Amino acid sequence: MSVPAWIETLAASAIEPAPVRRALEQLAACWPTVLPPLAEVIAARPEFGAALAHLLSVSPVSAKKVLSDPAALTWLTQPEVSQSARGPGRMRADYVAIERGPEVQSAIPENARTESPRPFDERFQVLRRWKARELLRIALREVAGWSSIEQSTLELTGVAEICLQTVTTGWLGELERKLGRPQTEFAVLGMGKFGGQELNYSSDIDVIFFYGEDGQLNPRFSHLEFFTRLAEKIVGTFSAPEAAGPLFRIDLRLRPEGASGPLVRSLDSMENYYAALGETWERMALSKARLLAGSEASAELGYEFSHRLQAFVYPRTASHDMVDEIRAIKVRIEREIVGREDLHRNVKLGYGGIREVEFVTQTLQLLHGAKHAFLQERNTLKALRSLRQLDLIPADNMEALIAAYRFLRTVEHRLQIEHEAQTHTLPSDLEALQRLAASLGLADVAAFRAALARHTQQVRTVFDEVLGASRPGLAAAPDADLSFFREPVHARRALDDLGGAGGSARFSPRTSKLFARLEPLLLDQLRRVADPDTALTSFVRFVERYGSRGMLFETLLVNARVLELLVRLFDASRFLTEIAVRRPQLIEEIARTGSLGEALALPDYFRGLARNEEGLAWPDWVRAYRRSQLLRIGLRDVLGFATLQEVQAEYSALAEACVVFTQGQLGLADALTLVAMGKFGGRELTYGADLDVIFIGDDSKAAAALLQAMTSTTAEGIVFPMDARLRPEGVAGPLACSLASYEAYFEKRGQFWEAQALTKSRALSGPWREDFTECAHRIWRRFAARDDVMAQVASMHARVVRERSGEDDFLDFKTGTGGLMQAEFFTQAQQMRSGLWEPNTLAALSALSAGGALPADTATRLTERYLFLRRVESVLRRVEDKSVSKLPADEASQRALVLRCGFATREAFLQEYRQARCGIRDDAPMEAPAGARGNGAGLPPAPT
């Protein structure tokens, strides 16, 4: 099929004929019959045809828009549409016309037409269609040379304003109809290029939401909740995908506290934040703030906001530290975001780019704006013209800056018109560069590169003159020794980012100076830990989540013990680190209350759970409380405020309080007797432990409900993992059994090892606590009266060793020769032989010694060696809150363990470790048949 001659002619005149020909052929194929013929529409205005060909050749996204909305083309051919500037009033009128459906209205008799708008949700769909048309119009005018860059950015901003105002007004009215009208105002500030009326084709729209006064809409709904819901609706509407195309990307990171801060704040909260915590980058951001949308009287609220923050944005005295910070921000942008390879290709953030023009402008505004109110201009080009009046930089340089800004913004627009994508980087492809050069009216790529180099060099010259070279003072001492890090370069970068020397846009000069004093102290603490790289990374994460890092740095300078606490915690335990990073205020609360020096007992935990200080639903509260108390116990452990036995006792008491509290909340206090077994029964729990339990009662559903409540995951995590496999028949038996059936089981088929396990049983709660204890004693004594107690225990130990030990007996400190299990089984055998019931291993050893069943020196040695291995186990488990029963095999991990256990050298640790294992082997012999112990027959020497 031949191509119409008019299409060939029009395509031949374009920069890139092929995409133009293809787009026009597709358009002709789908052109609506109700419209005038396409050839006539384009031929009516030759200058329009040439402009359209230019646009279609450089912008595939514009071609898609025309194909999806052919009627837009007839609209664009009107001279008053495409060849004249349009203000917000004219654009809004066009939107209203589309909203009321002119295509539909034209088919309705005059006397039957209605002025009522379309339904609520559809109105936002129409808004997307209108926005697509307007961006098509603005792009056409710009590539045709019918609009200046200033006019294009002004009109693009106008489109975004109308979208924001329409969506805000729509949702505000909707929520007021449903929930009532708050007795205060709501406002939306435009920030960045949105506030400065200089948006480009792919700009995010930076906004901040705030309201007047805190209060209650009704007894159960506050102003904060109402306006938060409103803000969520606005953001959701802008981000929702639609066939008609998106609105704009909303960016909320310029609000106080950034992404971690509340979505909406009251005016007082805004003022308090900036007064106490506001930093230089926030001054820069607020210098462009402009009220754009809100409730009916939001103008008054916007004025009050500007009035209150005037002194913060434009301080009467501004130090050169601020200039240093702004310069540092640019340095970091180039290093962290742009990179060396794109430094001269990124027209926004790169060498001599748009951002440098903006930084020069804003620096001079912040330095002189308080004395010269006419400098308080949001728009960059207008601000540059105002600055020109003060002769702060030579007139020639100022004109070069203005010309460069226009050129760079035009290049940026050409890059973004192509796909309306957020890009600022020049293509590397020569063909694409040639197309870009031709679109700008330049002869070839060489001419474009020459123009770009001239403008960016002029910008960099002015930037260096105004902001100067990087000044010393923000960074820590350059000779700081970072060789103890595995990756010193990354460590240096992280430290720079913490204090602002890396150019971060988040810190005030005060914050940077505080960190300059803190850094040597931080490095001194990091130098002492096993994994300084991970500890530093965790410290950075904690600082980022904390909020005001200036206040945190000040606290750490005043209280070096808290700094030590943090670093040692971040090195010792990843799972405790996650708790602290998720809720950094817990560290402050623990340090403030002084509870690190106090051991809490079961009644203390019950009282804490009963208080529910956060007012949460009980399933979330018991989890949140457990997490905070685990952090407190972990800190006591890491800092040496508690012995291992104290840590175990507190951990076990916390677990008991949580499970009994949960049982009570479920209304099961009288339905089940809960029995703790194993380490839980012995009050010897440590990190990563399951709670071994059995349930006495007739209701297995109740037992299942308690298990579910303890182990299910909510937003606050779980309570504790539980294991009920020590019940009669194990997993094959019912979850709960009556006391009579429990005793009958042991009379008929209970095995010796099950009776041995009762050594560590302890009834916690429920109606049959005393009855169970008496029953368990009877069972235990009956099995303990057998003549082969030692042989039975030894045989079971041999079986466990055979089934669980790995090939390397030396690393296996639990089931290997001379391991924890050997000490525990030996102790339990001695208890059964002497009739001593005591669930706690160390207490049992002490009692056996006191009663003469075990020599005092043997009990002392076993206690010391057992405690050593339990300490090693606790340190290993503490890292990930997981069960660990073997030493790490690699030397690096062993060295980390050595430091965390308090040893100076790996050799000293391994010597102590081997002595403990050999000592348990010799002092707690297990008499098993030859060969029954598998690889545990002997203990090999320590590896070197």
Of 205-209, 280-284, 492-496, 885-889, the one with minimum mean pLDDT is 280-284
Say which residue, 315 or 301, is predicted with more confidence. 301
Whether the predicted pLDDT of 782 surpasses 90: yes
Residue 39 neighbours by CB under 8 Å, 6+ apart: 4, 6
pLDDT score, position 392:
84
- Mean pLDDT across the chain, nearest whole number? 86
Say which DSSP state 296 is in: T
Between 820-834 and 856-880, two packed helices, what is the crossing angle to 10 degrees?
140
Residue 374 burial by Cβ neighbours in a 10 Å radius (0-12, 13-18, 19+):
exposed
644/702 Cα distance (integer angstroms):
35
747/778 Cα distance (integer angstroms):
11
Q: What percent of the chain has pLDDT over 70?
A: 90
Band (120; pLDDT cuts 50, 70, 90): low
pLDDT score, position 335:
81
pLDDT in tens, 824-851: 999 999 999 999 999 999 999 999 999 9
SS (H, E, C) 629-650: HHHHHHHHHHCCCCCHHHHHHH
pLDDT in tens, 692-740: 999 999 999 999 999 999 999 887 889 999 999 999 999 999 999 999 9
pLDDT in tens, 464-516: 888 875 444 434 445 688 999 999 989 998 998 888 755 444 455 567 777 88
SS (H, E, C) 734-753: CCEECHHHHHHHHHHCCCHH
Band (155; pLDDT cuts 50, 70, 90): very high
Q: What percent of the chain has pLDDT over 90?
A: 53
In Å, what is the CA distance from 716 to each residue of 617, 618, 713, 771, 780?
11, 11, 7, 36, 40
